[in-house]
A and B are shown apart, each in its own frame.
Chain A
Amino acid sequence: MAADIWTALFIALLAAFVGYEVISRVPVLLHTPLMSGSNFIHGIVLVGAIVALGLATTPLEDAIGLVAVVMGALNVTGGYMVTVRILAMFDRSKGKGGAP
């Protein structure tokens, strides 16, 4: 049992470094999309919420699990849409503005 936790800990350690390295040189221009995009990525919580609700056994667990799924789905689709909208504007401004 505990072996799984240890494996997860090793994975977490590496993921932390990846997260740090991947965005350490991001320009101010992209701070919003980066934040909003990482907001979308922690929407993976929806997968956990589906598992939690899918394995729930009592009415109380069902109710709380449903709340988890609704909020997780809000996080994932809202986060995605906001990011896409912001990045779409950067594209347009590039086309319209004309580089010097």
Chain B
Amino acid sequence: MTSYVQDAINAVYVVAVLVFILGLKAMSGPSTARRGIVYAGAAMLLAVVVTFASPGLSNFLLIFVGVAIGGLGGWYWARVVKMTAMPQMVAMFNGMGGGSAAAIAAVEMLGHLSDLTSSSLSLAGAVIGSISIAGSIIAFLKLQGWMTSKPIVLPARQVVNTAVLVVGVGFGLYALVVLHTFWLLPFYVLLLLYGILLTLPIGGADMPVVISLFNALTGIAVGLDGFALVNGPLGDAGYAMVIAGVLVGAAGSLLTLLMAKAMNRSVSNVFFSAFGATEETGAAVQGQLKPIDAADAAIQMAYANQVIIVPGYGMAVAQAQQKVKELADLLEAKGVTVKFAIHPVAGRMPGHMNVLLAEAGISYDKLFDRDEINAEFPATDVAFVIGANDVVNPAAHRQGSPLYGMPILDVEQAKNVIVNKRGQGKGFAGVENDLFYRDNTRMLYGDAQTAVGKLVSELKKAT
């Protein structure tokens, strides 16, 4: 009897895993992506529901309470949050997954510490899960603005961080050797601390890599927990976790590498170099900044054949995407071709700009990747940079610059460049941007929302 129930549950797990893979596959095309997530959602619901029927399970009241609190909380939170807060929400929900994996590992180790195979796998899952939740929470705080998004560099951090990690893992291993669960306490404390210390020196602009890596790490932690569970009485749930976790771990690692490559930096450079904490000195910039007012900028754009808009984090901060949409519509009404050039690491999470522009209702076939659009800049009358800096910095072509080798949008080649910027500060990398000093560049100062708003009203006046 019991085995039939288990067979039925297993069949559901198999179907769920299949649908996860198909769902993830569907995510790689815009027209199929929505179907993919809905099917994956249904499969997940089914997998969770049948798990309740697992033979030998007890504690149902607690499980219901937990699922209700977490489920309703997550559902509500994700519904009410503003689109502009998406990066930190993704970081937070991902951190929760890591925390869950770390907690499952703790329960497993408390229950069967003497099963060495299972305990060491749980320990590994706990290491990665703890780093993921602590790091994700720091990323959340930075992105939410509750903590400075600048790199926080502590003295001797490489030595201290490594010591915290090594001693922490040492406590965990000691617990397995002496078979005493007390030593798991300092293990968890130090590993959580390591996650915090690891993320503190990483600045806001590197967040796309960080969020993506923690996502992959949570996947791996879930997979390791799955390994630890397959030995247990309800081992079959473990296989589903192994597949789903490793699937995400691999997909997430690939995305992380893509992000790092888009900045021409290695993942370890992102994590360990405290990039952006120091400013480049000595690189001389010639010329001066030439301001432009909204009226002149509007005229220049209105008489252009093609305008390419290059959005950056400044647009996201000022929540200017709706104004940008208005601007694009007005220009198109005047017969101007408007395109958007999107750098892979513009903003604070992978694909951040695409999401914001989509929210404003801008069709995604007007958005172009770096490779697609770079050849078009020389034939473009006006390139309009909104709150982007490092991704258009020609210093990336200059040997010796911290940005050297980063693939950038070649905005400098456009006939005219208008740069919207709040002030005269440097970009995240701390490198002076000589694009702003070029003869064909004009600076449109102000908060992106206000500045683009002025352009819109100037264009409306002209019609």
In the complex, how many angstroms separate the beta carbon of A99 from the nearest chain B beta carbon? 5
In the bound complex, do residue B251 and residue A23 qualify as a contact, i.e. CB atoms below 8 Å apart? yes
In the bound complex, do residue B28 and residue A11 qualify as a contact, i.e. CB atoms below 8 Å apart? no
In the bound complex, do residue A47 and residue B235 qualify as a contact, i.e. CB atoms below 8 Å apart? no
Among B164-172, B237-245, B451-459, the one that faces the other chain is: B237-245
Among B210-218, B393-401, B403-411, the one that faces the other chain is: B210-218
Q: Which residues of B contact A62 (CB under 8 A)?
A: 59, 62
Q: What DSSP secondary structure best describes chain A's contact surface? A: helix
Asked if B250 is an interface residue, CB under 8 A from chain A, the answer is: yes
In the bound complex, do residue A79 and residue B362 qualify as a contact, i.e. CB atoms below 8 Å apart? no
Q: Which residues of A contact B245 (CB under 8 A)?
A: 42, 44-45
Asked if B230 is an interface residue, CB under 8 A from chain A, the answer is: yes
In the complex where A72-B70, A77-B70 touch, is A44 in contact with B110 (Cβ < 8 A)? Answer: no
Q: Which residue of A lies closest to B72 (CB)?
A: A77
In the bound complex, do residue B247 and residue A41 qualify as a contact, i.e. CB atoms below 8 Å apart? yes
In the complex where A49-B100, A55-B111, A89-B83 touch, is A65 in contact with B62 (Cβ < 8 A)? Answer: yes
In the bound complex, do residue A42 and residue B96 qualify as a contact, i.e. CB atoms below 8 Å apart? no
Q: Which residue of A lies closest to B227 (CB)?
A: A8
Among B37-45, B267-275, B294-302, B439-447, the one that faces the other chain is: B37-45
In the complex, chain A residues 51-100 whose Cβ is within 8 Å of any chain B Cβ: 51-58, 60-62, 64-94, 96-100
A34 to B250, CA, bound (A): 13
Residue from B33, B111, B352 within 8 A of A30 (CB atoms): B33
Asked if B75 is an interface residue, CB under 8 A from chain A, the answer is: yes
A44 to B23, CA, bound (A): 14
Q: Which residue of B lies closest to A83 (CB)?
A: B37
In the bound complex, do residue A19 and residue B231 qualify as a contact, i.e. CB atoms below 8 Å apart? no
Q: Which residues of A contact B38 (CB under 8 A)?
A: 84
Q: Which residues of A contact B65 (CB under 8 A)?
A: 66
How many chain A residues touch B (Cβ–Cβ < 8 Å)? 91
In the complex, how many angstroms separate the beta carbon of B61 from the nearest chain A beta carbon? 10
Q: Which residue of A lies closest to B115 (CB)?
A: A1
Q: Which residue of A lies closest to B92 (CB)?
A: A78
In the complex, how many angstroms separate the beta carbon of A3 from the nearest chain B beta carbon? 10
Residue from B29, B83, B111 within 8 A of A56 (CB atoms): B111
In the complex where A40-B41, A42-B222, A73-B71 touch, is A97 in contact with B366 (Cβ < 8 A)? Answer: yes
Q: Mark B12-46, 1 if CB is under 8 A from A, else 0.
A: 00001000110111011110011011101100100
Q: Which residues of B contact A57 (CB under 8 A)?
A: 111
Residue from B24, B34, B69 within 8 A of A87 (CB atoms): B34
In the bound complex, do residue B246 and residue A69 qualify as a contact, i.e. CB atoms below 8 Å apart? no
A residues with a Cβ closer than 8 A to B are: 1-2, 4-5, 7-9, 11-12, 15-20, 22-58, 60-62, 64-94, 96-100
B residues with a Cβ closer than 8 A to A are: 16, 20-21, 23-25, 27-30, 33-34, 36-38, 40-41, 44, 47-48, 51-52, 54, 56-60, 62-63, 65-75, 77-79, 81, 83, 86, 89-90, 92-94, 96-97, 99-101, 103-104, 106-108, 110-111, 117, 121, 133, 211-212, 215, 218-219, 222-223, 225-227, 229-235, 237-252, 254-255, 258, 342, 344, 349-352, 354-355, 357-359, 361-367, 369
Query: Could you list some 9 contacts between A and B, CB below 8 A?
Result: A9-B227, A28-B351, A32-B354, A37-B23, A41-B23, A47-B237, A75-B70, A84-B37, A86-B86
8 A-B pairs with the lowest CB-CB distances in the bound complex, closest first:
A97-B363, A73-B70, A19-B250, A69-B66, A31-B351, A78-B74, A81-B78, A31-B350
